[in-house]
Amino acid sequence: MNATLTQRYIDAVVRSLPPASRDDVQAELEVSIADAIEARTATGEAADVSEREVLTNLGDPGILAAGYADRPLHLVGPRFYLTWLRLLRLLWAIIPPVAMCGVALGKALSGAPIGDIFGSVISVGLAVVIHVAFWVTLVFVILERTGSASTIAEWSVDRLPEIRTRGAVRADMIAAIVLLAVGVVVLFWDRFRGLVIIDDRSLPVLNPELWPWWITGLLVLMVAKSALVIAVYFSGRWSAIFATANTALALVFATSAVGLLTVGQLLNPEFITIAFTNNGVNSDTTRILAVILGAGIIGFGVWDIIDGWLKTIRDNRR
């Protein structure tokens, strides 16, 4: 014999309940439904019509079960929604770009054609965006069902963000991170593939002897600079501490680069020979070019230092 609608309804309700309460809910629900049907048939309604009406009024068994088990009917509720959104945005801003740069670098170094590089970067970027969203959401879905409200730090006025100043805008931070990524790619490309191609020969521009220690130092400087810009962004304004750190980074970079340039260690000697000397550029001209390059490095550093202090002064005036 086929199960009655009532039996199927009750089964659908209790199926997802914890075993401890299952039998009790089932017994109570059976009586309640029987009572309701009886009340309707007493007025002369057909039994099967009554059963349908009663069950229809009870509504989706999933909702009733959620009521019995005190389960939320949403993935992430108002308690956790904002935290979920903020975390997701932060991770989306950081992880996919880093992964995409990593893939681009790896592919480029292994000599993949440009189309392959683009394809990989886009597919990896999409996959990472989806993965980040999925795993973050999964954690919050579990929190929503198991966590207490105390899992999330309580909001207070101390957590109000500083009013964004013009010196600490998001664009600066993103530009700095993108620049870092491009810089890393260029450095590795130069080392393993060579930045210039002369007479079908590719040559590194930077002196290969700078590897690994000088280049490691340069990478550390670049990471430190990015960290500084990110810190400025999150604190909302420039301060004397940030400007001092910025000054120190710029000084270390400029003095090392100019120092290496002075002793002829910065650029690849082979590159200078092939590109300049072999083309009839005499050593005086080469020296003048070196001086211009050095002046450029110093000028860039000085501008960077002044820029930091100007933003500090402007932000502190507000």
H/E element, 206: none
Using CB under 8 A, pick the residue from 23, 24, 116, 270 that binds another protein.
Answer: 24
Using CB under 8 A, pick the residue from 14, 64, 132, 181 that binds another protein.
Answer: 64
* Residue (13 or 99) nearer to another protein, CB: 13
CA distance 66 to 70: 6
Q: Would you count residue 70 as binding another protein (CB under 8 A)?
A: yes
Buried-exposed string 71-84: b where 16+ CB fall within 10 A, e elsewhere: eeeeebeebbeeeb
* Residue (149 or 163) nearer to another protein, CB: 149
* Residue (59 or 296) nearer to another protein, CB: 59
Residue 199: count other Cβ atoms within 10 Å of its Cβ: 7
Q: Would you count residue 25 as binding another protein (CB under 8 A)?
A: yes
The DSSP code for 318 is: -
215's tokens: 């280049």
Q: Would you count residue 10 as binding another protein (CB under 8 A)?
A: no
Are 12 and 64 in contact by the 8 Å Cβ rule? The answer is: no
Q: Please, how many CA atoms are within 13 Å of residue 108, restricted to the half-sphere of its CB?
A: 21
* Residue (64 or 128) nearer to another protein, CB: 64
SS3 call for 97: helix
Using CB under 8 A, pick the residue from 31, 42, 149, 153 that binds another protein.
Answer: 31
Q: Would you count residue 68 as binding another protein (CB under 8 A)?
A: yes
| Stretch touching another protein by CB under 8 A, among 22-30, 105-113, 213-221, 275-283 | 22-30
Using CB under 8 A, pick the residue from 67, 119, 269, 296 that binds another protein.
Answer: 67
Are 141 and 75 in contact by the 8 Å Cβ rule? The answer is: yes
By CB under 8 A, name the binding residues for another protein: 21, 24-25, 27-29, 31-32, 34-36, 39, 57-59, 63-64, 67-68, 70
